[in-house]
Structures are given as C-alpha cells and as structure tokens.
Amino acid sequence: MNILWLPHAPLRVGRARSDHLIERLAARHHVTVLSFNIHAPNEPWRYLADLVAHRTRRGPPYDELAHWRFPRLTALNGAILDRVVARELGRRRYDVLVVAPAPYITGYLDFAALEGRVPVVCDYLDGMDWSRDTGNSAFEPLYVKAADAVMCVSRGLLRQALTVNPRAYYVPNGVELARYRAFRAAHTARECKQKLGLDPEAYVVSIIGLTVSRRLYFVDAIAELVRKGRNVVLLLVGDSALLPEIMRRAGDCARAVRAVGPVPYAEVLPYFMATDLGLSAVDDHPYYHFQSPLKIFEYGAMGKPVVAAPFADEVAESGLSHVRFCDADARSLALAIEERMTAPAPLPEPALDEYDWDRLTEKVEAILAEAGTRG
C-alpha cells in the first residue's frame, strides 16, 4: 500500500500520534509524509529560511515531502498544499491520503480536486464541540464529512463524526507497552530520582508534557501541601510559555518545583519512573473532554497512579483503573494528591493491551486498506 500522510504536527517534535503510526506503517508499506515546520512567534524569519533549508528527502524509513507554510496565511498555505499534493500524486500512484483537519496550520485541502484521484482518510483529533463552538471548529465537519473514512481519537469525536459520516472509527492514542514495561522491570523509582537529582525521599508529582490550565491551580495545590510540611516535589517536563509564571506563582514554595524543560522522547522514561503520582490539570472545556490521554496511558504503563482534574469524558469512558478524578481547583487537587500520598494500597493495574501502538497500527492499516479499496 502507498500512503501519503499530512500529519497534525511536525515530525519528530516530541512524540506525536502520527510519529508512532507512520513509523510502524512504514515497516510494511511505502509512506510519504508531508513535512512542515512550526517556528516560535519571535522568529518569523525562519519560515523564509525554510524555503532554502527545508527540502524533500526520499529514503528509509519513509519519504519526507517538503511542505512550506507561513503563519496566519491560510489561503496561501492551502494553495501551496494543493500544489504539493497534486504534484506528488502525479509522480506516484497512492492508495490513500491521510490528513489531519488542521487548516489553520497547513491550509485547507481541496477535497474536490482529489475526487477520483485518491481516497482521503481524516485523522480526527484535537477536536471541538460543533454544537458549542461553531466558529473556531467550522472546518472540522467539512473535513469529516468529505473524507472516505474517519479515524477518531476519542469516543466523543466518534459520536460527533458519525452524525455526518457513517464510516467513522475509534482509534485512540496509545503507548509502547513493551518499552515501558521493560524499563519498569529494570529500574526503581528511587534510582531514577537520584539520577535526576531529586530527593529520593520526596513524593514526586509530575506533569510530563505541559498541557495545563492557565489558571495554574496545580501550582497552588502543591504550595498548599508544602506549607503543610509535606515533602512533595512538582516535576514539570516539557516546554511552555507558562513556566516563568509558574515559578512566580509558586512564590516561597518555588524550591518544590522542578522544571526541566523539553526532554527527548528517547530519554523520558526515567522521568516517568521517578514519578510517584502523574497529574493531568486542565480545564472543563470540550477540547479536553475530546482528548485521548496519551500521557495517562504512559503513566499507567509505568505503573504510576494518576489524578486527573477535572472529570474528563474520554478518560472516564476509557475506564482506566489507575486514574482518580477531582475538581479543577487548588483545594480539591491538594486533597486528592494527599489522599494518594497516604493511601495504604496502590491502585489496580490498568488494562492497556488494546492501547498498544502495535495493535492500534493494525487497526489503522485495515481502515486505510478498506478506504483504498473502496476508492
């Protein structure tokens, strides 16, 4: 099968859903990825530099087709995208095109121009509630309805997609189970805390991947526990514009906050192992109810409990035994963390086999093959 793929994020930035799926599919199929960059707002000149530096690369494990884009120029980006796709379809016969509905980044895809040329599968993630957010998410039903098949990252998005396209399937995020289980078997939390320069006696609450509430109530919760005399550390892994404000908010408890910045995916496992409690601290917003909890799966694979604030629909429907919920405010979160610190027994191990990336890739492979045959 020849697969052309437009991901929702640049390649090899963190470890996105598309990276996991593309690498596994490329072991059995020819995959070409439309590769683009996203630069910091204070470095707009880098988009012009990409015209020279960002180039198409053919070869294993998969081909990378350069797609140049420019910030906030949606119409121009769409024209560039359509031209790049058309030229690639003229160069090679593709069985299917996978596209994430992110025209605000890559420009709009011209579905009409692709009719009869290649079937399109929509990888539907980062979605909003169509009934509540008709402005910002107006493009989502356009992509979902026009696609020959839709892969929905959450059950909420699946129910939404089925209202306009009967060929919608549930394909959540996942975890590399074998990798996490092997590391867990070979290392201890105390060993990893020492390696990372953390107090081995401290109770480490971590947020790995800084998708968090701008209200920073999780910082207030940690500060409350520190002031009560609890030996607790908030470990933050990842990059965020909120980090300076997080340290200011911590105030006299800033010593209990350890922000390490971005960590390559290949080096992140010790941070999971050093964790005593994983934390998801976001807001009661449709975006978070429609998310598939990639980091929560990863905490579970490492045998770590999770406190999630607030109650999130997709996380709850997943029925993960290592997750407990609380309200999204400092007092509720502090109580929930303290409860886990003093709990006499660990939470049950979650059943994660169905979320293994290898198994999910097989499901994606079947969906793409069916769409290609139908197309």
Rounded distance between C-alpha atoms, residue 81 and residue 210, angstroms: 30
Whether 325 contacts 316, CB under 8 Å: yes
How is the chain split into domains, by residue range? 2-174+356-374, 177-354
Rounded distance between C-alpha atoms, residue 311 and residue 326, angstroms: 7
**pLDDT at residue 137, rounded to an integer:** 67
Q: Residue type at 147?
A: A
Crossing angle for the helix pair 330-341 and 217-227, to the nearest 10 degrees: 50
Question: How many angstroms from the chain centroid is the CA of residue 187?
Answer: 26
| Domains 2-174+356-374 and 177-354 in one fold | yes
**pLDDT at residue 12, rounded to an integer:** 81
Rounded distance between C-alpha atoms, residue 230 and residue 340, angstroms: 13
Q: What parts of the chain have a pLDDT lower than 70?
A: 133-137, 375
Q: What is the DSSP letter of 57?
A: B
> Does the pTM of the predicted model rise above 0.95?
no
Rounded distance between C-alpha atoms, residue 5 and residue 32, angstroms: 6
For domain 177-354, say whether CATH 3.20.20.120 is its number. no
**pLDDT at residue 52, rounded to an integer:** 84
- Second-level CATH architecture of 2-174+356-374: 3-Layer(aba) Sandwich (3.40)
**pLDDT at residue 48, rounded to an integer:** 85
